Amino acid sequence: MDDRNRPLDTICPGFSETIIITNVNYLIWVVLSMVTELVLTAAFPLQSGLVPRGTRAFVFERIFEVFLLLGTLVGVVVVGYMLYNAYKYRSGSGKGHVDEGNRLVLGELPSGSGGGRKLFTSFFMSMVIVVSLVSWTYLTLLYVEEGPADDESLDVEVEGYQFGWRFTYPNGHTTDGVLRVPADRPVQLTITTADVFHNFGVTELRVKSDAIPGQETETWFTADEPGTYTAQCYELCGAGHSYMSAEVIVMPPDEYEAWYANATAENATADNATANESSADASVAAQSNLRPAVVP
């Protein structure tokens, strides 16, 4: 706010602008203090509980909400400020002027220009917002990366192929196209692929990981609502990419146990049979080039 030090006549057209800047800065400071508070308490997560913990979906929604809220706020403030000033200083409004004594003329070398302090105040504030927000999410990243304890989780191996998903349970039972898991129990997925690069994701459960040839990636999720969800491929993988999905059936724990007790490495379930059939069609279709690739 260099203009405060300048004679009134030069800032007269911009008098109310000074107030606006102050207002903008005030608004940003409000946001900032909220965030700072958030981060300070987040630094002591045990006491505050401000680092969201729970299912992947819960963690995601909490962070997403905060980002949406702050993002919208910052966006509205900055864009509003920009539009307001663009309107205010439009040519013909009489508010703005070209400083004939100080402006660059055609062909003049651009020597230094002012405004550094104002610039750095805004820059500093935006930096605090961004850094504190991302640091806060880093704490949840640590939580997510830690994953569930080994003894309580269900381990399932996921293998992508053109164009479907195979799931192998700890007892060796394999299904194709359907993943059954119990509610309220963490599920640990180990993901790879039989052919090209895929990405396994269940958007409603907020779980996702790359399926990379020759590599294994790990991720986890906990579903608290029984029901049927859809897993999809999130990396372009060929003709059947659009239809490369699987059902994720979240069962009440006792029903799941009953199903799992009957599932062995050998017996092919009904799930398996239908899915295999469709995937066979898929590979045939994929051979012939421009024909539809997958029968869902």
Partner 1 sequence: MTDASPERDAAVDGGHEVAHGDDHGHDFPGTGSIKRWFVTTNHKDVGVLYVVTSLFFLVLGGVLAWLMRVQLLAPRALGEGILSPVAYNQAVSAHGLLMVFWFLSPFAFGFANYVVPLQLGAKDLAFPRLNALSYWLYLFSGILFGVSFFQGGTFSGGWTMYAPLSVPTFTPDVGASTAVLALVLFVASVTVSSVNFLTTMHRMRAEGLTLRNLPLFSWTILLTAWMMLFAFAALLAALLVLSSDRLLGTTYFAMESPAGALLWTHLFWFFGHPEVYIVFFPALGVMAEVFQTFTGRRIVGRKWFILAMVLVAIQSFAVWMHHMFLTSINLQVKTLFMITTIGISLPFDLMVFALIYTMLKGKIRFTTPFLFVFGALLLFIIGGITGVFLGAVVLDYEFRGTYWVVAHFHYVMVGGVTALVGGLYYWFPKMTGRMYDEFLGKLHFAVYFVGFNLLYFPLFVAWETPRRVFDYAPELAPWHQLATVGGFVLGLSFLIMFYNLFKSAFAGDPAPDNPWEYATTAEWAVSSPPPLENFDGTPTYRNGRLEFLDIGEVTPSEGRASGPTGAAVSDGGVTASATATVSSALSTAEATEVEGPSHASIWPFVLSAGAFLVLLGLSPLQDAAFPEGMVGAAYATTTVAGGVVTLGSLVAMGLEPFHGPVFEEGEAWPFAGIDNGKVGMWIFLASDVVLFGGFIGAYVFTRVAFGWTGWEPIPPDPIPGLVNTYILLTSSFTVVLALVAAEKRHKWGVVTSLGATFVLGIGFLVNKGLEWQHLFHEGLWLSTNVRASTFFLTTGLHAAHVIAGLVVALYLTARAWRGAYLEDSRSVEYFGLYWHFVDIVWLFLFPLFYIL
Strands in 154-161's sheet, in edge-to-edge order, are: 174-176, 164-168, 154-161, 187-193, 217-221
Q: Kind and range of the H or E element at 227?
A: strand 227-233
Which DSSP category does 240 fall into? T
Q: Minimum distance from CB of 47 to partner 1 (Å)? A: 21
Least Å distance, CB 83 to partner 1, is 8
Q: Do residues 204 and 232 touch, judged by C-beta distance below 8 A?
A: no
Nearer to partner 1, 144 or 154 (CB): 144
Residue among 155 and 281 whose Cβ is closer to partner 1? 281
Q: Which is nearer to partner 1, 24 or 268 (CB)?
A: 24
Q: How far is the CB of 273 from partner 1 (least distance, A)?
A: 21
Supply the minimum distance, in Å, between the C-beta of residue 226 and partner 1: 20
CB of 41 to partner 1, least distance (A): 18
Identity of the residue, 11 or 183, whose beta carbon is nearer to partner 1 in the bound complex: 11
Task: Output the smallest distance, CB 201 to partner 1, in A.
Answer: 7
Pairing mode, strands 198-202 and 187-193: unpaired
State how far the Cα of 204 lies from the Cα of 191, in Å rounded to an integer: 18
> For the chain, how far is it from start to end, CA to CA, in angstroms?
63
Closer residue to partner 1, CB minimum distance, 40 or 53? 53
The rounded distance, in Å, linking the Cα atoms of 101 and 27 is: 35
Chain centroid to Cα 135, Å, comes to: 15
Residue 78 exposed, middle or buried by CB count within 10 Å (0-12, 13-18, 19+): middle
Closer residue to partner 1 (CB): 209 or 256: 209
Considering beta carbons, is residue 33 or 288 the nearer one to partner 1?
288
> 157: which 2 tokens?
């191996």
CB of 111 to partner 1, least distance (A): 8
Sort residue 222 into left (φ over 0), alpha (ψ -120 to 50) or beta: beta
Nearest distance from residue 124's CB to partner 1, in Å?
10
Shortest CA distance to 190 belongs to which of 147, 250, 233, 136? 147
Q: Which residues are CB-neighbours of 278 under 8 A, at least 6 positions away?
A: 164, 177, 294, 295, 296
The nearer residue to partner 1, 38 or 141, going by C-beta atoms, is 141
